[in-house]
Homo-oligomer: A and B are copies of this chain.
Amino acid sequence: MKNDTITAPMGFSAGAAAAGIKVAKKLDVGVLVAENVCSAAAVFTRNRFCGAPVIVGREHVRSGKLQAIVVNSGCSNVATGNRGIDDARTMCRRVAERIGAKETDVLPASTGVIGRFLPMDKVLKGIDEAIARLSPSAKAGRDFATAILTTDTRMKQACERFRIGKTRYTVAGCCKGSGMIAPNMATMLAYLTTDVGISAAQLRPLLGVTAEHTFNRISVDECPSTSDTVAVMASGLAGKLETTSAIKTFAEVLRCVCEDLSYQIIADGEGATKVLEVKVQRAKTPADAHAAARAIAASPLVKTAVHGGDPNWGRIVQALGATDVAYKPEKVTVKLDRTVIFTKGAPAPRLDERKLAAIMKRKHVPITIDLGAGRASDRVLTCDLSREYITINADYHT
């Protein structure tokens, strides 16, 4: 079977272990290791109570190099003061010792409940076990993708292969959601591997732009997490990207993989049964386009209407009305899929409510808002808001 996991690009191995941090017997420690030191870049949450692993990770990735990533789920090591930072460093040191790398070439991450200290005995035992199982196999890739999950109901992976001249390259990734998702510069945890040869100086801006248009355009609950991390490692084993056009091709593939992963996060948002795509067109500025799309995607009233399959489009107008983006109300047009529902300040004539309800009941509901105020456009993905979201979040901690 073809390997379409995070270990698909040349030079990567993964391993995972069930260390008892999350729930007994569930994989909760993952290690991703490269044969060689890779060019690397990462973007992190802008939440000011960011986790200890984010603080340490920022420090480590500054060199533009990484050889390994270590992650645990079940406890996020956030709001844990100096002891938390020490714990994150200890995780990196243990991986470095075991694989013969530098501590500062290891990126740490933790995800789960905020405000608890890591059970370090379990974590270190888990790291040792995961390293003992390191393998470039598809199974090892899937185990890693599983070990990083929390309330997710399924693993999230993407893989693209492309060719430049005669050289074949691979870009792969895996990520987790699925609550506290409104990334600001990145999302919960997403890891990307590739075998292209590219410098960190080239990789860094590429990842920034890509995350901005993919992971930063999704929202489950409009709550920016304290642990968001997107990291990419490029082993270079398939060959260097020699031309600007080659880098452009790689950038496009990277974006495809990130879009695929972002969509998977939303489709598996906590309690989600549907994806809502909010497109804004003809905004005055790109910031306006983003703000308008996000306001609608963040509205619990819009999200519950989508959940109920109810074409209660007045709530779209309400959410837009509460923003301060530039537009004249009478120039705004709202479409559900391709059907105009609101135009010139009033409901479109001869609305067929049954047809609208049928669109609202689909698995993917597309809403377009034309602001008639300029040329900028943007798009935000979100999911519906269901009783299941409440059930998950009313009982998550205890």
Contacts and interface: CB of A to CB of B under 8 A. Distances in A.
Nearest to A341: B115
Contact of A79 (B79, B222, B300, B346): B346
Contact of A223 (B50, B319, B389, B395): B319
Given A114-B317, A315-B114, A395 B310 contact: yes
A205 interface: no
Contact of A394 (B113, B226, B305): B305
Report whether over half of chain A's contact residues are helix, strand or loop; otherwise say mixed: loop
Contacts of A386: 390, 394
Interface stretch (A80-88, A120-128, A259-267): A80-88
A280 interface: no
Interface in A295-329: 299-301, 304-305, 307-308, 310-315, 317-322, 329
Interface residues of A, number: 67
Count identical subunits in the complex: 2
A122 to B, nearest CB: 19
A397 interface: yes
A357 interface: yes
Contacts of A80: 346-347
Nearest to A306: B394
Interface string A63-103: 00000000000001011111110000000000000000000
A224 to B, nearest CB: 4
B308 A49 contact: no
Given A47-B322, A221-B300, A312-B397, 9 more contacts: A48-B320, A48-B329, A80-B347, A81-B344, A115-B317, A184-B322, A312-B396, A386-B394, A390-B390
